[in-house]
């Protein structure tokens, strides 16, 4: 036989060593834990550990470990009962200002963590966690679009010197009234030319009046945009939570599924997912705000709001100078008086609009309007939950413009926690439409453990059946195939751990299928060796010919399967992607182990048998 290159043996040993090392964290499992953070994002105090220890002693809970990990205080417990008891004690003892959440912490030793070795990220069906189904309120975004047209179209008509005598919103229509037919015809032509997404026509029952409404195509576009924008925003918000491999995907026309593996406490998650807090910067309008509040009628071009402190009425102009959707960055900070604030950075369009406004209005007041939609759950006499939406609109600050600014500035008038949460929401992006949580499920870790046990048994049974067949049918070479298959699975587990790709039940199915594909490559090689032996080729030459001539066939089969898995990954979502990732890694690993691994073993065993007349493969 031809000498086998030593570097191939070295590569094989290195792959075996690294795969073993990075697969080890999966053997240690996870343990129940309670994690604690400050709700305003600030670091924990230096004496926080002693405070936690005292609270645990009072509740007679003995932690396995307790310490600071990645900016969070993590208390590891020996059992789920201890976890629940510690969670209750810490919630009561720490009080407001802290977020105490249940979680699962890996038992990986420090020396492995220092090497960057981590256990595989498990999906919701294996690790447990929370599942939310969110409904996007597309009617709200359509209504908001109509409100924008009520403000925008009259402004454009004024720029074109087309006078109108009145404007209003009537359901889903923009209604414009004109003093004469000539101006109405001019407005009709202008709106049809500039706003092709609107159906506009004269109202025969209301005299000199035009009605404009959004077309069906535009309404569908607005709905799709709102859902897609919410999808992006929710992904950004979930990323802020630091959850490993979350699933955020669209379901149907106006619903979004959010799955967060490992999370067991849903309170903080629900607050962040459903929050729609944003800011609007508006000019303060001249006029008697008290009179508008008592009469309930605001002057034309203005809207009535109230301040947060004192509930004083304020008249603001309808036109928005800048809104939360134009913010590209937001950070919690403090002002010169050490009060909580949010430092904001506007995008190009917002910065230009703010610069132009402040340049023309130095010495005049500008208000910051805080808008938030809260979902409150109440219960009726039968104990059935009733969800109600409440819109909060408060003027948090009114300041006189002292100088010209545009891109960067500060917003004050917020509480410490509110400043932190608002900065987080603005940085992650504003929701294009409000969302309601219509379904919530918590999957316990015990169910995930049962799935893992069943999946492990299925995988081991499949490998055992394959091993038995290969050993009986191919004898010594069957043992080589089983050794290569074991290395294949080891590489697959190590790769999933290093990439932190989520493993779910479909992923376990991919692992079992990988075992079949890996053995299939060996079958092609061994049958080729058998064919060479039947043709009278000597054993050493038959081994060389079997590996050389089967290589292209194996590569061709693996490439076509790999292309199919890449299509699955590109077009699929959630579990389908997990299956595709697992199978892709398995295919690449099988190419290496079947050709390099088994050939190295064959050379080690048979290369030195110079007078060999037969092979143990029949």
Residue % of the chain over a pLDDT of 70? 85
Q: Rounded to whole angstroms, how far apart are CA atoms 604 and 9?
A: 10
* Residue 614 backbone phi and psi in degrees, to 5: -150, 165
Inter-residue contact 488 to 104 (CB < 8 Å): no
CB 302 within 8 A of CB 295: no
pLDDT bucket at 450, cuts 50 / 70 / 90: confident
Q: Which residue in this structure is represented by tokens 């015990």?
A: 446
Dist. CA 207–CA 11, nearest whole Å = 86
Confidence tier at 16 by pLDDT (50, 70, 90)? very high
Q: Are 103 and 87 in contact (CB under 8 A)?
A: no
Where does the pLDDT of residue 14 fall: very low under 50, low under 70, confident under 90, or very high at 90 and above?
very high
Q: What is the pLDDT of residue 21?
A: 93
What letter does residue 593 receive in the DSSP assignment?
A: I
| pLDDT value at residue 19 | 92
Q: Which of 194-203, 218-227, 499-508 has the lowest mean pLDDT?
A: 499-508
Question: Residue 338 gets which letter from DSSP?
Answer: S
Strands 166-170 and 198-202, how do they pair? unpaired
What percentage of residues in the chain have a pLDDT greater than 90? 4
Query: How is the chain split among helix, strand and coil, in percent rounded to 5?
Result: 50, 25, 25
More confident residue, 240 or 276: 276
C-alpha span between 145 and 224 (Å, rounded): 14
Of 487, 545, 482, residue with least CA distance to 519: 482
Is residue 123 scored above 60 in pLDDT?
A: yes
Residue from 322, 275, 318, 313 nearest 295 by CA: 313
Q: Is the pLDDT of residue 446 over 60?
A: no
Give me the half-sphere count of Cα atoms (radius 13 Å) on the Cβ side of residue 476: 12
More confident residue, 347 or 528: 528
Average of per-residue pLDDT across 318-343: 76
pLDDT at residue 171, as a whole number: 78
User: What are the C-alpha distances in Å from 115 to residues 26, 108, 112, 121?
Assistant: 14, 11, 5, 17
Q: Which residue has the tokens 């105490």?
A: 100
> What is the number of alpha carbons within 13 Å of residue 401 lying toward its C-beta?
23
Domains and CATH numbers, the chain: 6-24+444-606 (1.20.1640.10), 30-106 (3.30.70.260), 139-219 (3.30.1240), 224-442 (3.30.1360.200)
Check residue 404 and give its pLDDT. 83
| Residue found under tokens 């002002």 | 335
Report pLDDT for 41.
58
pLDDT at 566 over 80: yes
Tell me the per-residue pLDDT of 293-303, one tens digit each, with 9 for 90 and over: 888 888 888 99
Query: What pLDDT, on the 0 to 100 scale, is given for residue 491?
Result: 92
Average pLDDT over the chain, rounded to an integer = 81
Predicted pLDDT at 275:
64
**pLDDT (tens digit per residue) in 530-561:** 888 888 888 888 888 888 888 888 888 888 88
613: which 2 tokens? 């007349």
Does the reported pTM lie above 0.85?
Answer: no
Q: In 317-334, which positions are buried (b, 16+ CB within 10 angstroms) versus exposed (e)?
A: bbebbbbbbbbeebbbee
Rg (CA), the chain: 33
Residue 411 pLDDT greater than 80, yes or no? no
pLDDT at 562: 87
The highest-confidence range among 95-104, 240-249, 306-315, by mean pLDDT, is 306-315
């Amino acid at each position: 036989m031809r000498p086998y290159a030593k570097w191939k043996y070295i590569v094989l040993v290195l792959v075996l060593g690294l795969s073993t090392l990075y697969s080890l964290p999966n053997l240690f499992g996870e343990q129940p834990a309670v994690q604690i953070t400050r709700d305003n994002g600030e670091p924990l105090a230096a004496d926080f550990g002693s405070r936690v220890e005292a609270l645990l002693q009072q509740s007679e809970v003995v932690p396995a470990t307790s310490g600071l990990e990645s900016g969070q205080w993590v208390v590891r417990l020996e059992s789920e009962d201890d976890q629940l008891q510690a969670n209750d004690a810490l919630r009561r003892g720490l009080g407001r200002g802290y977020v105490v959440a249940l979680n699962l912490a890996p038992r990986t030793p420090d020396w492995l963590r220092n090497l960057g070795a981590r256990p595989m990220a498990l999906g919701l069906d294996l690790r447990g966690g929370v599942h939310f189904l969110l409904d996007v309120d597309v009617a709200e975004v359509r209504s908001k679009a109509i409100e924008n047209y009520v403000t925008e179209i009259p402004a454009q008509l004024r720029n074109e010197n087309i006078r109108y005598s009145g404007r209003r919103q009537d359901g889903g229509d923009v209604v414009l009234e004109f003093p004469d037919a000539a101006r109405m015809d001019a407005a009709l032509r202008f709106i049809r030319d500039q706003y092709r997404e609107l159906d506009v026509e004269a109202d025969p029952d209301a005299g000199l009046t035009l009605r404009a409404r959004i077309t069906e195509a535009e309404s569908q576009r607005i709905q799709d945009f709102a859902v897609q924008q919410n999808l992006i925003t929710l992904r950004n918000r979930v990323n802020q939570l630091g959850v490993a491999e979350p699933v955020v995907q669209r379901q149907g026309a106006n619903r979004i599924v959010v799955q967060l593996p490992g999370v067991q406490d849903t309170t903080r998650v629900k607050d962040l997912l459903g929050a729609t807090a944003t800011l609007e910067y508006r000019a303060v309008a001249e006029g008697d705000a008290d009179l508008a509040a008592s009469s309930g009628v605001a002057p034309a071009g203005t809207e009535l709001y109230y301040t947060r402190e004192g509930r004083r009425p304020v008249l603001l102009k309808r036109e928005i100078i800048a809104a939360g959707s134009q913010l590209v960055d937001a950070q919690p900070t403090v002002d010169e008086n050490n009060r909580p604030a949010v430092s904001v950075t506007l995008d190009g369009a917002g910065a230009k609009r703010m610069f132009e406004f402040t340049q023309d209005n130095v010495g005049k007041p500008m208000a910051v309007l805080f808008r938030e939609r809260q979902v409150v759950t109440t219960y009726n006499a039968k104990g059935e939950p009733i969800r109600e939406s409440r819109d909060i609109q408060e003027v948090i600050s009114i300041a006189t413009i002292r100088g010209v600014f545009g891109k960067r500035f500060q917003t004050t008038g917020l509480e410490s926690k509110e400043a932190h949460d608002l900065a987080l929401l603005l940085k992650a992006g504003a929701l294009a439409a409000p969302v309601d949580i219509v379904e919530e499920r918590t999957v316990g870790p015990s169910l995930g453990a049962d799935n893992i046990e069943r999946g492990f048994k299925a995988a081991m049974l499949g490998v055992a059946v394959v091993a038995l067949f290969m050993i009986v049918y191919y004898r010594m070479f069957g043992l080589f195939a089983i050794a290569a298959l074991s290395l294949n699975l080891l590489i697959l587990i190590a790769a999933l751990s290093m990439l932190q790709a989520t493993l779910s039940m479909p992923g376990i199915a991919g692992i079992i299928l990988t075992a079949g594909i890996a053995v299939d490559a060996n079958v092609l090689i061994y049958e080729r060796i058998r064919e060479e032996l039947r043709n009278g080729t000597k054993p050493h030459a038959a081994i060389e010919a079997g590996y050389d001539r089967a290589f292209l066939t194996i590569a061709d089969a693996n490439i076509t399967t790999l292309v199919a898995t890449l299509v699955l990954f590109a077009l699929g979502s959630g579990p389908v992607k997990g299956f595709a990732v697992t199978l892709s890694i398995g295919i690449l690993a099988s190419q290496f182990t079947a050709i390099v691994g088994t050939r190295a073993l064959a050379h080690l065993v048979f290369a030195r048998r110079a007078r060999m007349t037969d092979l143990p493969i029949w």
